[in-house]
Amino acid sequence: MIDLIPPDLRAALPDLRLAPRRPAVAGGIGQHHSRSRGEGLEFSQYRAYEPGDELRRIDWKLYARSDRYFVREAERDSPLTLWLLVDASASMGQADAARPDRSRLDAARALAAACIAVALRQGDRFGLAIAGDGRLDLVPAADGPRQRDRCHLALHALHARGGWPEDAALRPLWERVAAGDLLLLLGDHFDEAGVAVAERLAAARREVSSIQILTGEERDFPFRGGHRFRDVEGGAEVLTDAASARSGFLAEFAAARTALAARLAAAGIAHATCFIDEPLDAPLRRLFGLRGRGGE
């Protein structure tokens, strides 16, 4: 199976940490220390070695002094549940002419897989929700390598089709995504329904972050001569002279992005932009990057 995470994005994973911005809610989910023991950064106690413990966790210096095996334990952060809501509507199939090998959906796949890798490293639970072709498909949240493989299979099978599902089809999100969970929306945000569901989840005390995935052509409008633009979801077409339309398009597109960012900020949603011709780690660093290696 092809690796979903490009090498440059994988190299950035040690600098990323998934953690909510809001204070922890009741129930033990959030960025706070729990009394659970395991692997972590802050030493808690020693305990006697038991069959099945990893050998790398044995304190060999203590063994040399006592001739007994002891395992180091640490207090760890309470586990988080991460949900990845991926837009798989038809517009996500768009790519740049200069980079036809990477569509918006390809970028969303890579970003989702990178977040899954970080969640797996942290020992967190993670689930996948795919919105497209008028339906919502779910991989319920769980943890571990098998869960990663289930999510990867679902991501590999994705095709950009149709539009966002109706509200009734989105009901499983409300049943599965609990208060205090972290949800990351990955999409172009051109569907009002997608932005609205992110706002509603944030209002219901879900921790919501957002990455808008755009093409370089939308950023630069590099077209020349007569050009036909087609809405892949609605089917409408516009034939125009690219040179005369360029300044107006760029102004309107910038205004739309500014309005979207303000709308999401008002809802308490952390937001970043991903251009598919730029390094994919940039939006993840903005949302989840550490201030320094080993620090928060």
Distance (Å, whole) CA 154 – CA 141 = 13
Which residues, other chains included, contact 255 with Cβ-Cβ below 8 Å and sequence gap of 6+? none
- Chain CA centroid to CA 179, Å: 18
- Chain CA centroid to CA 169, Å: 21
Class of domain 7-25+78-288: alpha beta
User: What does the domain layout of the chain look like in residue ranges?
Assistant: 7-25+78-288, 35-77
Distance (Å, whole) CA 113 – CA 123 = 15
Q: Where are the alpha helices (DSSP H) in 98-241?
A: 104-122, 145-156, 171-176, 192-203, 216-220
What the block records as the tokens of 43 is 């030493």
Contact yes or no for 160/103 (Cβ under 8 A):
yes
Place of tokens 């002094």: 65
Report how far apart, in Å, the C-alpha atoms of 186 and of each of 99, 109, 200, 216 are. 20, 9, 16, 17
Distance (Å, whole) CA 260 – CA 243 = 26
User: What CA dihedral angle connects 217, 221, 224 and 230, to 10 degrees?
Assistant: 70
What's the pLDDT score for residue 145?
94
Distance (Å, whole) CA 238 – CA 228 = 6
Residues in the chain: 296
Entry pTM:
0.79
What's the pLDDT score for residue 69?
83
Angle in degrees, CA 90, 278, 16, rounded to 5: 95
The b-or-e profile of 189-226 (16+ CB within 10 A means b, else e) is bbbeebbebbbbbbeeebbbbbbbbbbbbbbebebeee
List the chain pLDDT tens, one digit each, 296 residues: 678 999 999 999 999 999 877 654 434 333 434 434 444 445 556 778 776 566 777 888 888 888 888 877 654 456 799 999 999 999 999 999 888 999 999 999 999 999 999 999 999 999 999 999 999 999 999 999 999 999 999 999 999 999 999 989 999 998 899 988 999 999 999 999 999 999 999 999 899 999 999 999 999 998 888 767 766 666 677 777 778 888 999 999 999 999 999 999 999 999 999 999 999 999 999 999 874 333 33
Q: What are phi and psi of 122, to 5 degrees?
A: -80, -10
Distance (Å, whole) CA 104 – CA 91 = 8
Q: What is the CA radius of gyration of the chain?
A: 22
Closest to 155 (Cα-Cα) out of 117, 193, 125: 117
What's the pLDDT score for residue 243?
84
What's the pLDDT score for residue 150?
96
